Structure 1
Amino acid sequence: MTSLYFDIRDDQWPIVYHEKYNVSFGGFEKFHVFDAQKWHNIIQFLLDANFITKDSIVKPVEAKDFDLKTVHTKRYLKSLKWSARVAVIAEVPILVCIPNILVQRAYLKPMRLQTGGSVLAGKLALERGWAINVGGGFHHCSGDKGGGFCPYADITMLIKYLMAYKSVQNVMIVDLDAHQGNGYERDFIGVPEVYIMDMYNKHIYPRDSHAKQAIRRKVELGYLVEDTEYLIKMKKNLKAALKDFTPDILVYNAGTDILESDPLGHLSVTDVGIVHRDQFVFYVCKELNIPIVMLTSGGYLKKTARIIADSIMNLSAQGLISGPPTPIIQSK
């Protein structure tokens, strides 16, 4: 049994996060488009709202070589020991000049923790009906190639571990990040047990025609799609996907780079639209009694952390997720 799986206490939420998810390169991360403190900020908003406590969230463990080799080739993992290779994946050119031991500590270790978080969240979703990894969703990474800020194939690993350790047979991936999820798609080409619905801006990275062979329900969008069009297409296609295929669990890649003015997504969905989107995905899963695991994936504006936190709290307000049971105090 993998060390990435462990039992959590009854008084914990199935919300997975570690303070070491966040990336720091001595200030160089401020020059990158990605908000390297996004994950911390999501949790801080939830703490400030008294929605969770530090003790009620779940800390994952880091995915080690043993775990990573269940998905990644030895050649690929070896390539990450070269800072120049990691610089290309992370799109941070300055990494070329930094010793790999520091790159491992400052960037790859946080990504391995997030990968461990995704795997654990899959297990918790089966047990609790839902789980959220406040991180992960590295959908551009496959078993033998990283890219687009994604150094590890956490989605592929999450699914393979569920199939190996939890007797899960059929999995649906619903990818609503603005970009095509070409990494796990390459890993699951020709695998009928994994149904992929991917809704993305067709004009932007990665435009991977080979990976598209794996998509069973493809929803390609143009530039600057707004709430109404986005939500109509999403709802129609998700309902159709769940008529086509009955999964044992749904992996929801909930990227917020669909937000208007996001520098990489080039769509025009509002914060209200994102909250509505997440609510509908969780609603459908609850109606059909399908466990759901949510990964936060892309989203490059500082305000996306607030939107994700608001969305999680809205899911609770709508009765779509619930926290630990309130302890019964015995009267004397």
Structure 2
Amino acid sequence: MGLEKLHPFDSGKWGKVINFLKEANLVTDDSIVRAQEAREDDLLVVHTRQYLNRLKWSFVVATITEIPPVLFLPNFLVQRKVLRPLRIQTGGTIMAGKLAIERGWAINIGGGFHHCSGDRGGGFCAYADITLTIKFLFERMEGVSRATIIDLDAHQGNGHERDFMDDKRVYIMDVYNRYIYPGDGFAKRAISRKVELEWGTEDAEYLQKVKAHVEAALDEVKSDIIIYNAGTDILYGDPLGGLAISPQVCIANPCFPIEVSQFARPAHYSFQMYFVNLVSCPVLDHFHFLYFLFHVISTNNRVFLFSLRYISRVRSKLSVQLVMDLQTEIF
């Protein structure tokens, strides 16, 4: 429909990621799981019925997506062309959470709607997929009782913060530009480890802060599931993020480990992950392939989940699972 051109958010990035991976012969259809659309009963686990009913009004969706012309579309078209793809991505995040518990890790190419909470949407986020996934895992997956959210999008993740305001089972680390949307002071009270960046923060300072705080966060809490919310809006020149991080830092930082062994798990759970430069480090085996996928998602979008319970499998045999949306283009 062309409406995506009216907003700087790239709504077609998810399909681009999948196409890139396929063209490079790095994934096949056998390693891709097609997401199922989140049903109303699923959404009601987090969202109020009043909020879901409000989404039946086009002007509400226009406000959430920040695309004014949506206001003039009949709602049946808004549901089909705007909200249904977002519901599929929400279902993808839930599925990725389940796969992370079963297989050790999973990636959802879409999702990461961190501005949406149970009763309000905003910032192009209509459904609270992160909250929904964590609640699903708490309620339905045995042995999952604590979760960590590491949110490195340039914007504050005020949606999941509002949802887990008083829930001590969820640890939130949020790194964001302090001067941009949403500036939600109330939601900040839920952040366990807050890293507020100045306008125009560059590579060296960013790396130092992220590395130090990620390591401290992993030392501080023992979780069963980690949800990593990425985003390209930290890149220099992004019209929304206001930061100045180079692509090289996002793709090729070999000195930023996430050490799962810091969760005080048994020795066979020890696992280390780096951002790597695939130009100088070709994909030689499944372990390097995991590295590759991590940096691809970090520089394209969005939700990366992995479970500490089965991470030992990675060193011996890696089962790759990508969750792809049935409809990659929003409009």
Please indicate, yes or no, whether the TM-score normalized by the shorter chain is above 0.5. Answer: yes
What is the RMSD of the two structures over their aligned residues, measured on CA atoms?
A: 2.6
Q: Work out the CA distance in 1 between the residues paired with 2:271 and 2:185.
A: 30
Q: Work out the CA distance in 2 between the residues paired with 1:182 and 1:225.
A: 21
Partner in structure 2 of residue 136 of structure 1 = 111
Partner in structure 1 of residue 39 of structure 2 = 64
Q: 1:286 to 1:87 in 2, by over 3 A?
A: farther
Q: Percent identity?
A: 52
Q: Work out the CA distance in 2 between the residues paired with 1:250 and 1:279.
A: 21
Please give the residue correspondences for 1:1-332 in structure 2 after superposition, counting only pairs within 5 Å.
26-167=1-142, 168-276=144-252, 280=256, 283-285=258-260, 288=263, 289=269, 311-312=295-296, 322-323=318-319
After TM superposition, where is structure 1 displaced by more than 3 Å over at least 4 residues in a row? Answer: 276-281, 285-292, 312-315, 319-325
Q: CA deviation at 1:253?
A: 0.4
Q: Which moved further from structure 2: 49-58 or 141-150?
A: 49-58
Q: 1:108 to 1:93 in 2, by over 3 A?
A: same
Q: Deviations over 1:9-35 (max 9, x none)?
A: xxxxxxxxxxxxxxxxx1222222111
Q: Is there any run of 5+ residues in structure 1 with no aligned partner, and where?
A: 1-25, 293-307, 326-332
Q: Work out the CA distance in 2 between the residues paired with 1:290 and 1:211.
A: 34
Q: 1:251 to 1:310 in 2, by over 3 A?
A: closer
Conservation of the 8 A alpha-carbon contact between 2:98 and 2:137: yes
Conservation of the 8 A alpha-carbon contact between 1:258 and 1:266: yes
Q: CA deviation at 1:291?
A: 9.9
Q: Is there any run of 5+ residues in structure 2 with no aligned partner, and where?
A: 264-268, 273-291, 300-313, 322-331
Q: Deviations over 1:287-317 (max 9, x none)?
A: 754999xxxxxxxxxxxxxxx96823999xx
Conservation of the 8 A alpha-carbon contact between 1:63 and 1:116: yes
Higher RCO (C-alpha 8 Å, min separation 6): 2
Aligned to 1:196, the other structure's residue is in SS state strand
Aligned to 2:212, the other structure's residue is in SS state helix
Q: Deviations over 1:118-144 (max 9, x none)?
A: 001011111222111001000000000
Conservation of the 8 A alpha-carbon contact between 2:174 and 2:193: yes
Q: 1:66 to 1:313 in 2, by over 3 A?
A: closer
Q: Work out the CA distance in 2 between the residues paired with 1:86 and 1:241.
A: 36
User: Which residue identity lines up with residue 36 of structure 2 in the other structure?
Assistant: V
